[in-house]
Amino acid sequence: MKLAVIPGDGIGTEVTAEAVKVLDAVLPGIEKTEFDFGAERYLRTNDLLTDADVAALREHDAILLGAIGDPRKVAPGVLERGLLLPLRFALDHHVNLRPSRLYPGERSPLAEPGEIDFVVVREGTEGLYTGNGGAIRVGTPHEVATETSMNTRFGVERVVRDAFERAAARRNKLTLVHKTNVLVNGGGLWQRTVTEVSRDYPGVEVDYCHIDAAMIYLVDNPSRFDVIVTDNLFGDIITDLAGAVTGGIGTAASGNIDASGTNPSMFEPVHGSAPDIAGQQLADPTAAILSAVLLLRHLGHEAEAVRVEDAVESFLSNRGEDEMSTPEIGDAIVAAL
Ligand code: NAD
Ligand code: IPM
Ligand code: MN
């Protein structure tokens, strides 16, 4: 396996080191290339994501990423819009896969969480993220600012099909989450596409929730969800809440997948660089380690993926009340392998 590693900013570097430790323990001989993308390189060279960077990444089977963005050093948006999103766009990561599971031993803040085991299939290349829009008369009383959500039939259909495939392999339920009562153009396209594609999956039950109501159900009755399909921004918001209800954002994993297999897919925790705790080895590396599980599974190393997932489960069910440092958690998971 040729693996590109982008530790990135803040706790990204700390949690990625643990994920690499676990990968090395379970699958010896991975050939790794480290890329120093992030705030430091940007401040040094002014580079965000260059064509040479993308070409070099394409030489790899997969990418492991920590987090990008450091509001302490670089204005919000510069690295996110200039580096992280261009990575996802250049490598056509249209399926942003974000599984949510309450593992045995994990504590949910919900009083009665029940079984939580669902997958959010978030569209990764369109919606409000494409940078369509602008601002005029900035800083004046007459300022006008727009961001336009772009939804294409091609882009929506490919992610909806992927979500139906996943539902058919799971509990046969797909929920579209959108805001079709207000966003009638994009919402209409998503709704019609789901209805049309559902004809190819007669065994999958189709459900719909508006985004606001979906937030109620995620807290009241998260067991109702199996596969959620949604657009880029709604998927971003849903998956932070999903992380919180399943024991914390420190265990929420994700994969940015080019389902066509043309480009390497990229695996990263759902969380960011957490400037509030960076540099102290306080971050939970479990999300990064579970992202490595998604990476192993994506590349067909199913046995190794299961071994790491079992080790994480066993760690979570046996961990005591004591605070553990980032490397202590990584070591404990390696020991549980
Ligand atoms: P964040 O996810 O970094 O942090 C939110 C809260 O969760 C913080 O209190 C943080 O301490 C806590 N947290 C996050 N990960 C944790 C972990 N592994 N263990 C324990 N606690 C954890 O979100 P933010 O503060 O809004 O963003 C910080 C920066 O990260 C911003 O620049 C943002 O743009 C960027 N960001 C990047 C990514 C990414 O690279 N995929 C994702 C989200 C945010
Ligand atoms: C995430 C992050 C990113 C997103 C930001 C940093 C651009 O919040 O990966 O969830 O919105 O996709
Ligand atoms: Mn997010």
Tell me if 257 sits within 8 A of 265, measured CB to CB: yes
| Single-letter amino acid, residue 246 | T
Residues 60-74: b if buried by 16+ CB within 10 A, e if exposed: bebbbbbbbbbbebb
Retrieve residue 185's tokens.
């153009």
pLDDT tens for 19-67 read 999 999 999 999 999 999 999 999 999 999 999 999 999 999 999 999 9
Say whether 276 counts as a known binding-site residue: yes
Say whether 283 counts as a known binding-site residue: yes
pTM, full prediction: 0.97
Mean pLDDT of 265-294: 98
Nearest CA to ligand 2 atom 8: 236
Q: Which helix (H) or strand (E) holds 122?
A: strand 117-123
pLDDT tens for 76-91 read 999 999 999 999 999 9
Q: 173-178 and 227-230 as β-strands: parallel, antiparallel, unpaired?
A: parallel
Mean pLDDT of 105-123: 93
Retrieve residue 261's tokens.
């297999």
Q: Listing from the earlier edge strand, what are the strands of the sheet with 227-230?
A: 31-34, 2-8, 62-67, 265-269, 253-257, 95-101, 117-123, 227-230, 173-178, 205-210
Tell me if 132 sits within 8 A of 297, measured CB to CB: no
- The residues annotated with a catalytic role in the active site are 129, 179, 212, 236, 240
Does the beta carbon of 83 sit less than 6 angstroms from any atom of ligand 2?
A: no
Does the beta carbon of 69 sit less than 6 angstroms from any atom of ligand 2?
A: yes
The percentage of residues in the chain with a pLDDT greater than 90, rounded to a whole number, is 96
Burial of 31 (0-12, 13-18, 19+ CB in 10 A): exposed
Q: At what angle are helices 326-336 and 11-26 packed, to 10 degrees?
A: 20
Does the beta carbon of 268 sit less than 6 angstroms from any atom of ligand 1?
A: yes
Say whether 75 counts as a known binding-site residue: no
Retrieve residue 217's tokens.
């159900």
Q: In DSSP terms, which residues pair with 136 in a beta bridge? A: 144
Report how far residue 279's alpha carbon sits from residue 325's, in angstroms, rounded to the nearest whole number: 11
Atom of ligand 2 nearest to the CA of 68: 6
Atom of ligand 1 nearest to the CA of 76: 32
Does the beta carbon of 80 sit less than 6 angstroms from any atom of ligand 2?
A: yes
What are the chain's domains?
1-96+249-337 (3.40.718.10), 108-246 (3.40.718.10)
